[in-house]
Structure 1
Amino acid sequence: MTIAMDVVQLSRLQFGLTAMYHFLFVPLTLGLAVLLGIMESVYVMTGRDIWRQMTKFWGVLFGINFAMGVATGITMEFQFGMNWAYYSHYVGDVFGAPLAIEGLMAFFLEATFIGLFFFGWDRLSKVAHLAVTWLVALGSNLSALWILIANGWMQHPVGASFNPDTMRMEVTDFSAVIFNPVAQAKFVHTVSAGYVTGAVFVLAISAFYLLRGRHVELAKRSMTVAASFGLAAALSVVVLGDESGYTAGENQKMKIAAIESMWNTEPAPASFTLFGLPNQETHRTDYEIKVPWMLGLIATRSISTEVPGINDLVARTQTRIRSGLLAYDALEKLHADRTSTDARTALAAHADDLGYALLLKKIRPDIANATDADVQQAAWNTVPAVSPLFWSFRLMVGLGFFFILLFAVAFYLASKRRLLSSRAFLWVALCTLPLPWIAAELGWFVAEVGRQPWVIEGVLPTFMAVSSLSAANVLTTLIGFIAFYSILLVVDIYLMVKAIRLGPEPSATKPTVQPGPSAMPLPAE
């Protein structure tokens, strides 16, 4: 069993590293694609060449990022077959459909029109090329939609049921899979976060140019667009994040309780812990500073509905494990006699809890003989790592509010034409560059670690989903991925820095001025 768990941990580490590395490129792709559409739309409406040059310059950076995103994303899908074979067998009929549609609908659309974007400037009319740019943006967002529909199903498996004859999960209502409320909430929240990333990227690079007195015309217009777009996106992230909190409160109660380090159920409406020191060993949170009612409003949208604590949720899980054991027993009887109607009836009555019984397989192979102590241990294994979730969530939320402040100040300075003279703000904007990626990675960490020990919430435990590989095989590929991705990261940073240093084509800017205390801002066009 120890060797098996080594394979599980290594497989999780490999997929986690590749997923989080891949997600370094996804938010910037989403954000820059829409910003390119906005900039080129202004060019088509005004005919001013500076906007064309802006679109082409930021388009080069978009292309570098897009290529890296594709290279890192493909390997993730291969891992489902390599490292997570039982997962692919058990839920492939459901999970594979959104991924296939993403490839056929979104990726091909995006990949086709991105070529026209780069090589069609002198071959297409202005309006036709603008349509191509917006189709690239549409493809990027559709790609995110289908990926998040697949991921949302892992968080909240709807529209599918277990078939005892095939021993697999099968689709029963594909529309329920598509319109899964968790998936839809994740989509709008993730896409908005991508827009913030793109806006911060444009804001920071433009601030760098203004601090150096280079490409001033391009930089100040880019900052104005980024400030306006970024402010709307940052506000959307907070609002739509609240929707994600509500859907998690409805469908992933243990995740919410762990994020809040809430061990005991509080009277409704529950308070939000602004600060505290979670202690998973003593099952308590020390030095708490709470905001009354806030958690209840976020998680339940009411002042009368309780938010259950970890202790109560563990007790409920024990009940579901015992119910799942009845389903497991019925499944065993059905395998012995396929015609047994009693076994099918018993299985149907407890099928929703079958996955909870499978948690016992981590403790003992003969789960039919599980003791009360085994059930209790399995129930406590459903509590994720509380302290990392608690602090990751708060840092992510803090960064979200910081972005609102950043874009609000940028918008004010741009509207007053004071960007060139506000050197302190330009330095803040430049230093903000890595923060949206940190926030995005924290968001994924909270989403994925928060649902452990499940790979499919309530259906399939993570430790059961891995392939029959040796730990040495997984470790070898893990080292290979780390080496390959490290090289890609160096190449990506080199290409990005080189493109930024070169700047736009010479015709993109007018003679520059050296900013200083007495410098006057140039009039915006």
Structure 2
Amino acid sequence: MFDPTVVELSRLQFALTAMYHFLFVPLTLGLSFLIAIMESVYVMTGREVWRKMTLFWGTLFGINFAMGVATGIVMEFQFGMNWAYYSHYVGDIFGAPLAIEGLMAFFLEATFIGLFFFGWNRLSRVQHLVVTWLVALGANFSALWILVANGWMQNPVGAVFNPDTMRMEITDFVAVLFNPVAQAKFVHTVSAGYVTGAMFVMSISAWYLLRGRHAELARRSMAVAASFGLAASLSVVVLGDESGYAATEHQKMKLAAIEAMWHTEPAPADFTAFGLPDQRSQHNRFEVKIPWLMGLIATRSLNGEIPGILELVERAEHRIRGGQLAYAALQRVKADPGDAQARAVFERHWADLGHGLLLKRYREDIGNATEEEIAQAALDTVPRVAPLFWTFRVMAGLGFYFIAFFAFAFWLASTRGFEGRRWFLKLALWSLPLPWIAIECGWFVAEYGRQPWAVEGVLPTFYAASHLALRDILITLTGFVALYTVLAVIDVRLMLATVRKGPKDIPMLRFGGSGDGGGGQPAHERPTAPVMPVESGGDAG
């Protein structure tokens, strides 16, 4: 039997490392395209301020990228250490996109980021611009393959369980790649990253304008960020609707829990704008509903029905009984691989095997589970509703705030009115943490809403964990918290030191090579120091 404390601590450890890592990913995605846009303007116009903008924001991008790499590597090890059975059970599918991400995307990004920083004196303007765009594309390709892997956990398509190897095996990689949940998650996530990058540039630039420093650079940076952020924030809401529609099709329990919809409502369902979900009584107190809105958003129709939580529990109970049949047939196949009748039974019911494994929480011989145990296992398919209900609303509310914020910023950029509205500059400065709050809420909704599944409908979370000693989990959890705290302090100090020093201390580099529009220098006159105006001992306080 599994140790529930070990499982919960393993979940906590992975959640902490994943959500910490995800502090850096969206900023990397957003800044990569922003600096590519800025350098494109520099190459087209030749104006020095755009080169300084590229170098300054590129330096902050580099610090953030390094921290993202350092925190991301740890997550890879956890699959084999804390989630060994998960790695065994679904490694054939889950490992493929991660391997492609490393070979195709991360190496591309990591290689060209070196050329971005150290190639200014060796490449022409156009060559260096190509490098910068490849860095941006590499960052986004990396996100694509990671979200393909994660999307498969949400909607496991293109794979079947092999009773001979006792593992899930891939049957259709194209289906895995074009999984509608993965595609919706990818475009929604990268758009959120673009909003984060735009808000970061807006906030730092607003701070400069409030202090009366680097005004030329700050105004232009805010103009780029305003237009980029407006397009991205609109995309987040539109593509978030697509993610909700995908959940309607493939993750009905998650959607019902997000909406705290206990009972199936007549179509089109109402949207609960406010309420206090009570999971024990299966009722919402102080509800404020908007008629028809949920049905229109989730089904895009007037007659599409959204099943409620309790109806989905009844469906889960039916699938648990099918899982009992699949598990019994699987045991017969293990004992006698030539048992054709057992294989036929398994083929009919294998899709319910994961639901049958939910009974392992209560007894080993799941075929003899009582009615009470089956009913309890079915109730286990309901995640905690209140955290999902409120986290989703925080995320959605911030999404609409970003649209309003960037729309007004775009108008100010068009009228060159940033410096005349100090209240907006202060609002921009204090809005800096909001994209991260929205993104972490979104990640929480996606992952916590999938519980109790490590892989939706296939592998229960408690069944996927390694059988580790409690002290081992406590040691690694403590170590990761300490390590990540140190990394956080280093990252904040480096970023603050770079921002406080500003772009004025960046070396005046020129492009080398041919085709640079006359901007090259003889080799003996070119500076050789790398473009990293950060002193590790710089004071952030």
TM-score (norm 1): 0.96
Question: What is the match of residue 517 of structure 1?
Answer: none
- Which letter maps to 2:488? L
Question: What is the match of residue 386 of structure 2?
Answer: 387
Question: What is the match of residue 62 of structure 1?
Answer: 61
Give a deviation string over 1:150-195, Cα, whole Å, max 9, x none: 0000000000000000000000000000000000000000000000
Equivalent residues in 2 for 1:1-20, closer than 5 Å: 4-20=3-19
The worse-fitting range, judged by mean Cα deviation, of 293-302 and 402-411 is: 293-302
- Which letter maps to 2:284? T
- Which letter maps to 1:127? V
The answer to whether the 8 A contact 2:55-2:506 is kept is no
Q: Distance in 2 between matches of 1:508 and 1:51?
A: 14
Give a deviation string over 1:266-288, Cα, whole Å, max 9, x none: 00111111001100010001111
Question: What is the match of residue 149 of structure 1?
Answer: 148
Q: Distance in 1 between matches of 2:152 and 2:42?
A: 41
Question: What is the match of residue 325 of structure 2?
Answer: 326
The answer to whether the 8 A contact 2:357-2:460 is kept is yes
Equivalent residues in 2 for 1:300-379, closer than 5 Å: 300-379=299-378
Q: Number of paired residues?
A: 508
1:92 aligns with 2:91: yes
1:288 aligns with 2:287: yes
Q: Distance in 2 between matches of 1:336 and 1:217?
A: 76
Give a deviation string over 1:82-107, Cα, whole Å, max 9, x none: 10000000000000000000000000
The answer to whether the 8 A contact 2:56-2:506 is kept is no
Question: What is the match of residue 265 of structure 1?
Answer: 264
Q: Distance in 1 between matches of 2:507 and 2:393?
A: 42
Question: What is the match of residue 203 of structure 2?
Answer: 204
Give a deviation string over 1:380-435, Cα, whole Å, max 9, x none: 01100100000000000000000011101111111111101110000000000000
The answer to whether the 8 A contact 2:4-2:462 is kept is yes
Unaligned runs of 5+ in 2: 509-541
- Which letter maps to 1:185? A
Question: What is the match of residue 105 of structure 1?
Answer: 104
Q: Cα offset for 1:351?
A: 0.6
Question: What is the match of residue 183 of structure 1?
Answer: 182
- Which letter maps to 2:118? F
Question: What is the match of residue 39 of structure 1?
Answer: 38
Q: Distance in 2 between matches of 1:42 and 1:336?
A: 69
Q: Cα offset for 1:508?
A: 9.7
Question: What is the match of residue 129 of structure 1?
Answer: 128
- Which letter maps to 2:202? L
Q: Cα offset for 1:446?
A: 0.3
Q: Cα offset for 1:505?
A: 2.6
Q: Cα offset for 1:468?
A: 1.7
Give a deviation string over 1:185-216, Cα, whole Å, max 9, x none: 00000000000000000000000000000000
Flag the 1:507–1:344 CA change in 2: closer, same or farther, 3 A: closer
Q: Distance in 2 between matches of 1:300 and 1:91?
A: 31
The answer to whether the 8 A contact 1:318-1:375 is kept is yes
The answer to whether the 8 A contact 1:323-1:354 is kept is yes
Give a deviation string over 1:283-306, Cα, whole Å, max 9, x none: 001111111111112221211111
Question: What is the match of residue 426 of structure 1?
Answer: 425
- Which letter maps to 1:351? W
Flag the 1:57–1:212 CA change in 2: closer, same or farther, 3 A: same
Q: Cα offset for 1:123?
A: 1.0
1:492 aligns with 2:503: no
The answer to whether the 8 A contact 1:296-1:302 is kept is yes
Give a deviation string over 1:428-453, Cα, whole Å, max 9, x none: 00000000000000000000000100
1:443 aligns with 2:446: no
- Which letter maps to 2:161? F
Give a deviation string over 1:124-161, Cα, whole Å, max 9, x none: 00000000000000000000000000000000000000
Equivalent residues in 2 for 1:22-33, closer than 5 Å: 22-33=21-32
Question: What is the match of residue 119 of structure 1?
Answer: 118
Question: What is the match of residue 415 of structure 1?
Answer: 414
The answer to whether the 8 A contact 2:120-2:128 is kept is yes
Q: Distance in 2 between matches of 1:250 and 1:291?
A: 22
The answer to whether the 8 A contact 1:50-1:508 is kept is no
- Which letter maps to 1:117? F
Q: Distance in 1 between matches of 2:411 and 2:336?
A: 73
Secondary structure (helix, strand or coil) at the match of 2:503 reads: coil
The answer to whether the 8 A contact 2:105-2:141 is kept is yes
Give a deviation string over 1:51-99, Cα, whole Å, max 9, x none: 0000000000000000000000000000000100000000000000000
- Which letter maps to 1:99? L
The answer to whether the 8 A contact 2:325-2:346 is kept is yes
Q: Cα offset for 1:325?
A: 0.6
Q: Distance in 2 between matches of 1:119 and 1:190?
A: 30
Q: Distance in 1 between matches of 2:3 and 2:300?
A: 43
Flag the 1:269–1:495 CA change in 2: closer, same or farther, 3 A: same
Q: Distance in 2 between matches of 1:508 and 1:221?
A: 20
- Which letter maps to 2:361? K
The answer to whether the 8 A contact 2:6-2:473 is kept is yes
The worse-fitting range, judged by mean Cα deviation, of 335-344 and 437-446 is: 335-344
Question: What is the match of residue 245 of structure 1?
Answer: 244
The answer to whether the 8 A contact 1:384-1:453 is kept is yes
The answer to whether the 8 A contact 2:271-2:293 is kept is yes
- Which letter maps to 1:209? Y
The answer to whether the 8 A contact 1:325-1:368 is kept is yes
Q: Distance in 2 between matches of 1:487 and 1:49?
A: 37
The answer to whether the 8 A contact 1:250-1:299 is kept is no
1:482 aligns with 2:481: yes
- Which letter maps to 1:341? A
Q: Distance in 2 between matches of 1:148 and 1:142?
A: 10
RMSD: 1.0
Q: Cα offset for 1:506?
A: 5.0
The answer to whether the 8 A contact 1:49-1:508 is kept is no
1:168 aligns with 2:167: yes
TM-score (norm 2): 0.93
Q: Distance in 2 between matches of 1:44 and 1:498?
A: 28
Q: Cα offset for 1:337?
A: 1.4
Quote the sequence identity (%): 70
Question: What is the match of residue 226 of structure 1?
Answer: 225
Q: Distance in 2 between matches of 1:303 and 1:451?
A: 27
Following TM superposition, the consecutive aligned residue runs of length 4 or more in structure 1 with deviations greater than 2 angstroms are 505-509
Q: Cα offset for 1:491?
A: 0.2
Secondary structure (helix, strand or coil) at the match of 1:312 reads: helix
The answer to whether the 8 A contact 1:53-1:508 is kept is no
Secondary structure (helix, strand or coil) at the match of 1:505 reads: helix
Secondary structure (helix, strand or coil) at the match of 1:276 reads: strand
